[in-house]
Structure 1
Amino acid sequence: MIFGPFSLADATAAELTFKLWLYVENNYDALCRMASVNGSQFYGSCTTGNSGGWIDRVLDLSNVYTLGDLRGRPQVWIALIFDTDSSINYAEGAYVDNVLVRKCTAATCAGVNPDPGAGNVPELIEISAEATIGEGIRLITPRELPPKN
């Protein structure tokens, strides 16, 4: 699912939030929340594993993997992308609900929160990722991530 473009030119905060129910093969199948500034190359995070029920997911548009801060950008796209292979198939997959894209233009914006990550669900893994529309998703393994300063 891709939405956009929309403007974050005057944004003081912006985020994508949604509920996720996931039961997929760890590290091979994932639901990704991503953003783009050109509509074809997307960057963000993926969740893989078993959520054990509905969980909250967030993509903070002021801190997107590789792209950085998208506030001030006149054109932004967001995407929810399910990526899977054919090796192991579980009976379910990924479900999303309550999808919300929010942009704030005030000095304060109540309720904009950083990504809660995997929280206390041991069966989930969060992975950075990049995707080019038509070419699929590439999950970024920890050894590929740039060093933190």
Structure 2
Amino acid sequence: MKQGRLSLIAFGLLGLTALSVMPLTSFNWPAALAQTRIRPRDLWRLVYEQLPEFPLENDYVSKLDGEVKPDNTLVERLIRYHLYVKGRTPQYRLDWKLTLADYLGANEIMYEGVYPSADVLTKNPLEGDREAIAKLTRSQREALIDVLVGIYNPQTNRD
């Protein structure tokens, strides 16, 4: 029994030593907390506040009530595609670039059946969203990535 307890104590001390060597700054707690507070269905508003000229693509009609859904925007669908369809992290520029590359047909295939809102709108927005992204300039795409990363990872914006 004593040997078992000593092993646990030694393992615990080893773990504490390892933690004391790791800098706490490597953990981005504010960003993690921000992610839990910001819901993707609300995040699009923050993006459009910072990029008011970004295309909305929000004229699609609901299958349920036959009304246009102005809250169902290109940015909202792009975020949901990024997070839920592809399972990519929202903190890193490279992941957002991969998502935009999907829209541009330069990375992974996008499937209509799993595209966000395809099941709730009368017309699948995928093709229109891909066209809207393709019309953006490189600087507009970079600005979008900057805003998204800044929202999900607010520490990167501080000096």
Q: How does the TM-score come out when normalised to structure 1?
A: 0.25
From the two aligned structures, give the one with the greater helix fraction: 2
Structure number with bigger Rg: 2
Query: Larger % of strand: which?
Result: 1
